[in-house]
Amino acid sequence: MAGNLSRNNDLGIGQSKWLKFITWFGIAFLLLPLIILIVYSFNESRTVTRWEGFSFRWYKALFSDVSIWLAIKNSLTIAIVSTLVSVSLGTMAAMLIARYSFKGKKLLQNILYIPVILPDIIFGVALLSLFILIKFPLGIISVICAHVTFSFPFATMVIMGKVINLPESLSEASLDLGASRWQTFVKVILPNIAPGVISGALFAFSMSIDDFVITFFTAGVGASTLPLKIYSLIKHGITPSLNAISTILIVFTVVVLLMANFLQKTKKISRSFKIALGTFFLIIVGLLVVSPFFTKSSERLNIYNYSNYLDPELIKKFSNETGIKVTLDYVNDNDEMLAKLQMGVAGYDIIFPTAFMVEIMKKQNLLAPICIDSIPNYKYITPGFRKMSFDTTGRYYVPYAYGYTGMVYNSNYIEGPVDSWDILWDERYKGKIMMINEMREVFFVASKRLGFKMDTSLSKLNMARDILIEQKPLLKKYESNAIGDLMASEEVWIAQDWSGSITRLTSSDPKFKLGYPKEGVLFFIDNMCIPANAPNKGNAERFINFLLDPAHSAQNINCIMYAMPNDSAKKLIPAEILNNPTVFPKIKNFDSIEIARDFGEFNRELTRAWMEVKVH
Amino acid sequence: MLELKNLSKFYGNVKAVNQVNLTISKGEFFCLLGPSGCGKTTILRMVAGFEKVTEGNIYLEGKDITNDAPNNRDVNTVFQNYALFPNLSVWENIAYGLKIRKITKDECNRRVEDVVRLTGLSGFEKRMPSKLSGGQQQRVALARALVNRPSILLLDEPLSALDKKIAEQTRNELSELQRKVGITFIFVTHNQTEALALADRIAVMKDGIIEHCDQPKEIYEKPRTHFVADFIGSMNFFECTIKASEDKATLLEIPEIGDVILTGQNKQEAGKTVQFCVRPERMKISMLQPAEYENCIKGVIRQKTYLGEITKFVVELAGNRQISIMAQNYLLKLSNEFYDIGEEVNIIWSKTSGEIIHV
């Protein structure tokens, strides 16, 4: 009836066709990407851009990945605990602000808005500084504290709306009828503000589940949440697996927000909802009991590695053999690793920096010397890898895996032979060429094409810069993460690429082939290092020794498809992997390979030249 | 028995309640009457325990309850806006106090049933408060308080939110209910009609003090102060001097108007300036000369307002003073058409009517 009574105004305000069009366009713009994402999560194909039929394949892959389950468990634990805390605090604050007048009330109300207005990144940095200052260990609890700080003001505001609308005479009536203050709160106030409390809780919950930035800054050992995990997976390109996780997150968030909305509108909460709420709390208790809070293990090992860069079976085996509880957190790049180490509170025992980063970390005294004597399996390391140029003492690193940057091409479009970097400057493939979005990689290729060894000479650098500028019109783009996807969708025909990624592409479809340039390739060596303030140095050495065992090393190579400098392990590897040049490049003399180094002061010149290329 | 001794409540410099002394006996229907801001609700809230007492004491059955928490007082309140718990049904609202006091289930059910019947709420037990009319909500509020069988029931303007008809009906029921249950009622209102109709005794309040406390008839007929006389009903006031007085008769001189006689009063002090007041409905307009037992003054009709059951005249006396006179419309012609605006008339009232107020 009410709807019939409200009629359109005669002036036509708010009824313009344009207004409607723009509104709907805005909504479509908002929803379309989400719909595409959801649809493609059911795509059979590995690529994001081409439809190859309906499949649950990526959901299956998702649910069989233990590390994702761990991330989900972390996310849920953090979200539930921080929600409970922020709702309790929020209810108290709302009662205080709505019911009592006191000095500084206005100030308190305004302070509540700070986390709402302030950019997350500032909040994250500020919290991190505080945690470091008070020496609060980073872990799940620090993340929970951080989430409480940003979700509690939201909860307060939502709950306050309900408290203000609750007549004070209700509390008086309850006291008048003999109820104590606590009974009054439980029997009268809480049921009447419950819709506000629950929707406040759901807001807090969804904010906590979705948060990336603040979690990124405040997470420590064992606190990888789902968004952090998703971000670390991007390293391997945007796979439908990511779409699948995102779809689950979207569905979850939408359900939570719909519930919040529904509860805001209903006045009375049905019995069945109370039961649902009770079940929810029981689940929380269950989760808390099994959460790592209470699993006390005296022996621990905290690993900080890229995702999919260590066979999870080996970790399980190590844990079973030694009783040491292993926590694996994911890092995205060398710079992030450096930043965590510089904070000094990360608590990691083993990190996997690339050679040039070992050099930087060593200079900054961030690494502990490794006691080689307690690693008997060190003897299996290929001698040429033991005291390399980035640490001639050989005491700060144990080489883990190595690879190189070569080219991958689509043989349907590119005529062979692809054996020189020159092909990346070939006019025939204009718009179908791609380079990695990393200055060291790009300038190495340019230097090699010019016939130089890359060093700290300014004139060489400028020449390299000039041919890169010349190459730029031919490029599709500079890209590091989605190389595989762009190759698979044939938007790019030839790309500079890392050997691991080339291995995945060439094994997925024979039309993709390795291009190994005769001028030489840039090698990278990732190493196992122990941070200077590692809490479990002995366990780290035990784990390194465990990984260097030839059988374990071979198993690891089979899993991650990267070469390792372990000659005894090579004998245990299937021939097709050993003979695959993308995994094991044919190197005659390991002393002569070029690896990316830290240029020290010259980095500034390199960055400048790179910027000149990028903005040209 | 409730006793208030020198009870005061100050908000900063504002004396909301100032040195009030009052004794209310068991089973009494007591009414606190006054304009808004007079402190009547504050007294009620202090008795209920919602407001801290600044000075003085409250005794219930001889026991000092001044500083007891509201939940420890044998007193229940019916709130102005009823304050029903919106999350509970009618039955649950009424049973609330009993459940808190951990009264056995059978006893609880029996008492709730009794009070539901008493307040005429049968059939509404399962409803939520939001699905009730104002009058029904009012009954639930009443039932919720009565079911606890308190020594005293406090009612804060319980009829003010109701329509006039419903309020009148509820008023009658309330009076009947109080006689049935025999609980002391303390009723706060700004509505004098309610107070006169319901109360055994009325305390008229102004600016935190009790001006006059007595039975309704006494309050109306023999107001002790100008405020009480003015606030209850309507009143015509005359500034005058006592010319002569003896037992049972006093001669008053109203300047410019003349002398009037008041009988049935104690002997007054001669020469004193006082206020003489007569209710408008005790005066009549007439062309005839007064009888021996009547006073008479002259005036000119300035306004005439037809009000249904009565007609109200505004009459101008000598010296530009105006008084009002209410005439019953039992003979429509007589009161409404016979006298016209601008006519000079006699204003007549019995020598027994009127009251002297000492300034």
* End position of a domain, from candidates A36, A55, A74: A55
Closest CB to B83 among A173, A178, A180? A173
In this prediction, residue A293 has a pLDDT band, given cuts at 50, 70 and 90, of very low
Q: Smallest Cα–Cα separation from B45: which of B1, B22, B78?
A: B78
Q: Please name the residue of chain B whose CA is at the shortest distance from the CA of residue A194.
A: B87
Closest CB to B76 among A167, A176, A188? A176
Shared domain for A424 and A463, answered yes or no, is: yes
For residue A61, what pLDDT is reported? 78
User: In chain A, what residues touch B108 (CB-CB under 8 Å)?
Assistant: none
Using the Cβ of B96 and the Cβ atoms of chain A, whether some distance falls under 8 Å is answered with yes
For residue B279, what pLDDT is reported? 94
Do B260 and B252 touch, CB atoms closer than 8 A? yes
Q: Smallest Cα–Cα separation from B322: which of B303, B345, B294, B339?
A: B303
Q: Please name the residue of chain A whose CA is at the shortest distance from the CA of residue B150.
A: A177
SS3 (DSSP) at A157? helix
Shared domain for A283 and A366, answered yes or no, is: no
| A14 domain-assigned | no
CATH code for residues B234-358: 2.40.50.100
Alpha helices in A185-333 (DSSP H): 190-210, 213-218, 226-233, 240-265, 271-290, 312-322
pLDDT at A3 exceeding the cut of 60: no
For residue A287, what pLDDT is reported? 62
Interface of A with B (CB under 8 A): 167, 169-170, 172-180, 183, 187-188, 191-192, 267-268
Do A307 and A237 touch, CB atoms closer than 8 A? no
Q: Smallest Cα–Cα separation from A41: which of A62, A72, A15?
A: A62
Q: Tokens 């009730």 belong to which residue?
A: B132
Residue B359 per-residue DSSP state = -
For residue A210, what pLDDT is reported? 86
Q: Smallest Cα–Cα separation from B136: which of B79, B90, B194?
A: B90
- Nearest-Cα distance to chain B for A161, in Å, is 17
Contact (CB<8Å) A172/B83: yes
Shared domain for A146 and A285, answered yes or no, is: yes
User: In chain B, what residues touch A175 (CB-CB under 8 Å)?
Assistant: 49-50, 69-71
Q: Smallest Cα–Cα separation from A381: which of A577, A530, A527, A574?
A: A527
Shared domain for A235 and A144, answered yes or no, is: yes
pLDDT at A582 exceeding the cut of 90: no
Which stretches does DSSP call E strand in chain B?
A: 2-11, 14-24, 29-33, 55-60, 63-64, 75-78, 152-156, 184-189, 201-206, 209-214, 236-246, 249-254, 258-263, 273-278, 283-286, 294-306, 310-316, 322-328, 344-350, 355-358
Do B312 and B280 touch, CB atoms closer than 8 A? yes
Contact (CB<8Å) B76/A177: yes
SS3 (DSSP) at B215? coil
* Residue ranges covered by each domain of chain B: 2-230, 234-358
Contact (CB<8Å) B77/A174: no
Q: Are strands B283-286 and B344-350 parallel, antiparallel or unpaired?
A: antiparallel
Using the Cβ of B81 and the Cβ atoms of chain A, whether some distance falls under 8 Å is answered with yes
Give the pair of three-digit tokens for residue A511: 């039309």
Contact (CB<8Å) A177/B49: no
Contact (CB<8Å) B77/A180: no
Low-confidence ranges of chain B (pLDDT < 50): none
Choose the mutation target among B85, B92, B131, B153 for the interface with A, i.e. most A CBs under 10 Å. Answer: B85
Contact (CB<8Å) B96/A180: no
- Nearest-Cα distance to chain A for B159, in Å, is 17
Using the Cβ of B101 and the Cβ atoms of chain A, whether some distance falls under 8 Å is answered with yes
Q: Cα dist. A603→A455, A514, A607 in Å?
A: 11, 30, 6
User: In chain B, what residues touch A173 (CB-CB under 8 Å)?
Assistant: 77, 79, 83-85, 144
pLDDT tens digits, A362-382: 988 899 999 888 899 999 998
User: In chain B, what residues touch A187 (CB-CB under 8 Å)?
Assistant: 85, 96
pLDDT tens digits, A390-430: 888 989 999 999 999 999 999 999 887 888 999 999 999 99
A:B CB pairs within 8 Å: 68
Give the pair of three-digit tokens for residue B204: 């008229």
Shared domain for A71 and A146, answered yes or no, is: yes
Q: Which of residues A526 and A2 earns the better pLDDT score?
A: A526
Q: What is the mean pLDDT of residues A49-67?
A: 78
Shared domain for A155 and A92, answered yes or no, is: yes
* Domain total of chain A: 4
In this prediction, residue A481 has a pLDDT band, given cuts at 50, 70 and 90, of confident
Q: Which of residues A146 and A223 earns the better pLDDT score?
A: A146
For residue A238, what pLDDT is reported? 63
- Partnered with residue A351 across adjacent β-strands are A304, A529
- Partnered with residue B60 across adjacent β-strands are B2, B63
CATH number of the domain encompassing residue A190: 1.10.3720.10
Shared domain for A181 and A286, answered yes or no, is: yes
Choose the mutation target among B74, B87, B148 for the interface with A, i.e. most A CBs under 10 Å. Answer: B87
A614 CB neighbour count, 10 Å cutoff: 14
Shared domain for A479 and A608, answered yes or no, is: yes
SS3 (DSSP) at B20? strand
Shared domain for A432 and A393, answered yes or no, is: no
Q: How far apart are CA A548 and CA A566, in angstroms?
A: 8
For residue A332, what pLDDT is reported? 78
Q: Please name the residue of chain B whose CA is at the shortest distance from the CA of residue A191.
A: B87
Using the Cβ of B131 and the Cβ atoms of chain A, whether some distance falls under 8 Å is answered with no
List, in order, residues 6 or more apart from A361 with CB less than 8 Å away.
A338, A341, A353, A367, A396, A529
Cis peptide leading into A33, omega within 30 of 0? no
| A127 domain-assigned | yes
Mean residue pLDDT of chain A comes to 85
SS3 (DSSP) at A539? helix
A552 CB neighbour count, 10 Å cutoff: 21
- Nearest-Cα distance to chain B for A175, in Å, is 5
pLDDT tens digits, A336-360: 888 888 876 668 899 999 988 998 8
Q: The complex's ipTM?
A: 0.86
| A590 domain-assigned | no
- Nearest-Cα distance to chain A for B48, in Å, is 7
SS3 (DSSP) at B344? strand
Closest CB to B148 among A177, A183, A267? A177
Shared domain for A26 and A89, answered yes or no, is: no
Contact (CB<8Å) B79/A180: no
Using the Cβ of B138 and the Cβ atoms of chain A, whether some distance falls under 8 Å is answered with no
Q: Please name the residue of chain B whose CA is at the shortest distance from the CA of residue A167.
A: B83
Q: Tokens 């922020």 belong to which residue?
A: A86
Contact (CB<8Å) A179/B83: no
Contact (CB<8Å) B100/A191: no
Contact (CB<8Å) A176/B96: no
DSSP string, B129-190: GGGS-HHHHHHHHHHHHHTT--SEEEEESTTTTS-HHHHHHHHHHHHHHHHHH--EEEEEES
- Amino acid sitting at position B161: A
How would you label B146-172 residue by residue, b for 16+ Cβ within 10 Å and e otherwise?
A: bbbebebbbbbbbbeebeeebbeebbe
CATH number of the domain encompassing residue A458: 3.40.190.10
Shared domain for A124 and A262, answered yes or no, is: yes
For residue B104, what pLDDT is reported? 92
| A592 domain-assigned | no
DSSP string, A396-464: S-EEEEEEEEEEEEETTTS-S---SGGGGG-GGGTTSEEE-S-HHHHHHHHHHHHTPPP-S-HHHHHHH
For residue A63, what pLDDT is reported? 75
Contact (CB<8Å) B148/A175: no
In this prediction, residue A330 has a pLDDT band, given cuts at 50, 70 and 90, of confident
pLDDT at A50 exceeding the cut of 90: no
* End position of a domain, from candidates A290, A311, A335: A290
For residue A2, what pLDDT is reported? 42
Closest CB to B100 among A172, A183, A191? A183
Contact (CB<8Å) B71/A180: yes
Q: Please name the residue of chain B whose CA is at the shortest distance from the CA of residue A195.
A: B87
Q: Smallest Cα–Cα separation from A491: which of A429, A423, A424?
A: A429
Contact (CB<8Å) A172/B81: no
User: In chain A, what residues touch B70 (CB-CB under 8 Å)?
Assistant: 172, 175-176
Q: Please name the residue of chain B whose CA is at the shortest distance from the CA of residue A180.
A: B71
| A44 domain-assigned | yes
Q: How far apart are CA A368 and CA A273, in angstroms?
A: 55
Shared domain for A145 and A281, answered yes or no, is: yes
User: In chain B, what residues touch A188 (CB-CB under 8 Å)?
Assistant: 85, 87
Q: Tokens 């919290």 belong to which residue?
A: A127
User: In chain B, what residues touch A169 (CB-CB under 8 Å)?
Assistant: 79-81, 83
Give the pair of three-digit tokens for residue B251: 């001669």
For residue B217, what pLDDT is reported? 94
SS3 percent helix, strand, coil of chain A, rounded to 5, is 60, 10, 30
Choose the mutation target among A171, A177, A183, A187 for the interface with B, i.e. most B CBs under 10 Å. Answer: A177
Q: How far apart are CA A329 and CA A139, in angstroms?
A: 11
Contact (CB<8Å) B71/A175: yes
Contact (CB<8Å) B100/A192: no
Q: Which of residues B43 and A59 earns the better pLDDT score?
A: B43
* End position of a domain, from candidates A272, A290, A308: A290
Using the Cβ of B83 and the Cβ atoms of chain A, whether some distance falls under 8 Å is answered with yes
Contact (CB<8Å) B75/A268: no
- Nearest-Cα distance to chain B for A270, in Å, is 10
User: In chain A, what residues touch B97 (CB-CB under 8 Å)?
Assistant: 177-178
Using the Cβ of B49 and the Cβ atoms of chain A, whether some distance falls under 8 Å is answered with yes
Note down the domain range covering A45: 19-55
**Fold for domain B2-230?**
Rossmann fold (3.40.50)
| A1 domain-assigned | no
Distance spanning both ends of chain A, measured CA to CA: 65
Closest CB to B70 among A167, A170, A176? A176
| A588 domain-assigned | no
| A589 domain-assigned | no
Q: Which of residues A12 and A374 earns the better pLDDT score?
A: A374
